[in-house]
Amino acid sequence: MDLSKFFSAKNIAIIGVSKDPKKVGHIIFRNLIDSNFEGNLFLVNPFADIILNKKVYHSLLNIKENIELAVIALPAKKVPQVIKECGKKKIQNIIIISSGFKEMGNIKLEDEVKNLLEKYKIKCIGVNSLGIFDAYTKLDTLFLPRYRLKRPKPGNISFVSQSGALGLAILDLATSENYGIAKFISYGNATNIDESDILEFLLQDNNTKVICMYIEGVKDGRKFLEIAKKVSKVKPIIVIKGGITEKGKEAALSHTGALAGEAEVYYAAFKQANIIQANSLQEVFNFARILEKSMLTKGDRVQVITNGGGYGVLSIDSIIKNNLSLASLNKKTIEKLKKQLTNLVVISNPIDLSGDATTERYKIAIDACLDDNNVDILLLIVLYQSPLIDTSILDIITEAKDLKKKPIIVVSTGGEFTDTLKRSLEDNGVVNFTFPEDAVKAIKALTEYYLKR
């Protein structure tokens, strides 16, 4: 389903804008001003003439211009009438922020909305949506103040959430952790457009490279499976499923009214559609980070290089626990490294460059491993606390990544100094993790996805 107009709309009507700065419609208007959105806003409220120096229309039908997107922030019972007006004005895309429908037991009202949308052939995100956000076009209908919820920089991860509050909290954290986001969509009750429609749209969206989803239940299992299969051939889909236990399912039912279904059925479907399943929100973050860099891999043989022995040991334990393969270096590589490195270095898996490892030692080991046919992926541990590691290591890693065409995942743990170097690597497109166990789980997700695709 083509939803591009939702994000590229230039003429937007906000229906239900209040003078009260705490009300939803007002905050949406305010945010669109603050976001430097380059379009035209049309405010609608029968009881106001001017808000924040902007003309207010008493009715949608009084607007002469063509409206590409209407955002509805009115009490639930007023929604059907407004949809009729949208229909008359030939508005094709609307977002309904209003809640108080099926999720509150008002099934009849939601059915009325659903039927009207079909009658007028209107595409609708919601009801009970927390809004959408596009980091490129700056289209922003999230009704949360920007001082509480910072907006992310443009990037390639899109996030689709059945739970609005969860989605926004994640978006907020992603922003502070410097993730780049393409689109954010809170689809609420999926009255008219469901998670499968959104998936299908994101396949076509050029800015989206990775799709993350929080779902409790899907509307139409067969449709979802069919579309997900198609999408995952091109773009990785990471899903975290709420309601995988009986008690969790009950909670989901009283949350979004979703029938969370049998966890096993979902897991089987995810597997069949090559959907990457995250078992925690942290994993969603970790998996998105590694997959955003879209490092194709041809195998799962991991070589570890470290300047901290304990990190080497924990990494190997993790690789085995996650059913990945340990790379075994070619004899030639080992001989070469033995010649080039001091006998303090343990050349095996891990290669332990030892606490007194220099940047030069790293360069030798990195190049040799990446040139070795027995290595598919490099897990590179760099503890920057050592004064022997100078900042040229950043260039060495970045160059290796660009030239050698194999995934390099860096693990570094530390404070301010370490964070500065990590950020610099991230800016050059290198994936970093704080802990070896997280890095290995992410590598597992990466290899599973690509080896199946």
Closest distance of CB 379 from a copy of itself, Å: 13
Closest distance of CB 49 from a copy of itself, Å: 26
Instruction: Give the footprint of a copy of itself on residues 126-155 (CB under 8 A).
Output: 130, 144-145, 147-150
Nearer Cβ to a copy of itself, position 63 or 173? 173
Which of 55, 321, 338, 423 binds a copy of itself (CB under 8 A)? It is 321
Give strand pairing partners of 159.
184, 212
Which of 93, 141, 156, 161 binds a copy of itself (CB under 8 A)? It is 161
Q: Please answer whether residues 51 and 29 qualify as being in contact, where contact means their C-beta atoms are separated by less than 8 angstroms.
A: yes
- CA atoms of 377 and 295, how far apart (whole Å): 10
Residues with Cβ within 8 Å of 335's Cβ and at least 6 positions away in sequence, in order, are none
Instruction: Give the footprint of a copy of itself on residues 18-47 (CB under 8 A).
Output: 22, 27
Which tokens belong to 138? Answer: 């700056």
Q: Which stretch binds a copy of itself (CB under 8 A): 37-45, 68-76, 317-325, 363-371?
A: 317-325
- CA atoms of 182 and 294, how far apart (whole Å): 15
Q: What mask, x for binding a copy of itself by CB under 8 A, covers residues 45 to 74?
A: ------------------------------
Nearer Cβ to a copy of itself, position 121 or 148? 148
Nearer Cβ to a copy of itself, position 41 or 263? 263
Closest distance of CB 167 from a copy of itself, Å: 8
Instruction: Specify the pairing of strand 50-51 against strand 54-57.
Output: antiparallel
Cβ-defined contacts of 147-152 (< 8 Å, 24+): 148/172, 150/175, 150/176, 151/35, 151/175, 152/179, 152/180, 152/181
Residues with Cβ within 8 Å of 108's Cβ and at least 6 positions away in sequence, in order, are none
Instruction: Specify the pairing of strand 153-161 against strand 210-215.
Output: parallel
Nearer Cβ to a copy of itself, position 381 or 430? 381
Instruction: Give the footprint of a copy of itself on residues 389-418 (CB under 8 A).
Output: 412-418
Residue type, 28: I
Q: Please answer whether residues 353 and 362 qualify as being in contact, where contact means their C-beta atoms are separated by less than 8 angstroms.
A: yes
Which tokens belong to 6? Answer: 């939702």
# chain residues binding a copy of itself, by CB under 8 A: 84
Which of 176, 206, 264, 331 binds a copy of itself (CB under 8 A)? It is 176
Closest distance of CB 106 from a copy of itself, Å: 12
- CA atoms of 14 and 41, how far apart (whole Å): 7
Nearer Cβ to a copy of itself, position 295 or 421? 421
Instruction: Give the footprint of a copy of itself on residues 177-216 (CB under 8 A).
Output: 214, 216
Instruction: Give the footprint of a copy of itself on residues 241-300 (CB under 8 A).
Output: 242-248, 250-252, 254-256, 260, 279-282
Binding of residue 172 to a copy of itself (CB under 8 A): yes
Nearer Cβ to a copy of itself, position 81 or 280? 280
Binding of residue 309 to a copy of itself (CB under 8 A): yes
> How many Cα atoms within 13 Å fall on the side-chain side of residue 192?
26
Phi, psi angle pair for 273, to nearest 5°: -95, 10
Cis before 411? omega within 30: no
Task: Tell me the DSSP string of 168-208.
Answer: HHHHHHHHHTT-EEEEEEE-TT-SSS-HHHHHHHHHH-TT-
Q: Which stretch binds a copy of itself (CB under 8 A): 54-62, 80-88, 171-179, 227-235?
A: 171-179
Closest distance of CB 276 from a copy of itself, Å: 17
